[in-house]
Amino acid sequence: QYVNVLQTGEPVAMERQIGRHWYLVSAVRFDYDGLLTSSIDITETKLAREQIEQINSQLRRTNESLDQFASVASHDLQE
């Protein structure tokens, strides 16, 4: 990807994992043959995002169970 930045001049941003840490890495061409990169440690953000996704998944399953219960309860009440 760095070679592509040098060849095309088009900047790139990507998430990379190094060991247990995640980084947001950006690269832009500097002058004709230079490359300027920066990286930000996003490990805490990445872990928080994963935790939110897990909680959302649990909430979806709970809502499905509640919907099924409500449907059965409604059917029983109608009888």
- Going residue by residue through the chain, which has 79 residues, state the pLDDT in tens, using 9 for 90 and above: 999 999 999 999 999 999 999 999 999 999 888 999 999 999 999 999 999 999 999 999 999 999 999 888 888 888 7
Reference 4, options 28, 40, 36; nearest CA is 28
**What span, in angstroms and rounded, lies between the C-alpha atoms of 37 and 9?**
13
φ and ψ at residue 9, rounded to 5 degrees:
80, 5
**pTM (2 d.p.):** 0.66
Reference 13, options 34, 39, 32; nearest CA is 39
Question: For 16, how many CA atoms within 13 A lie in the half-sphere containing its CB?
Answer: 12
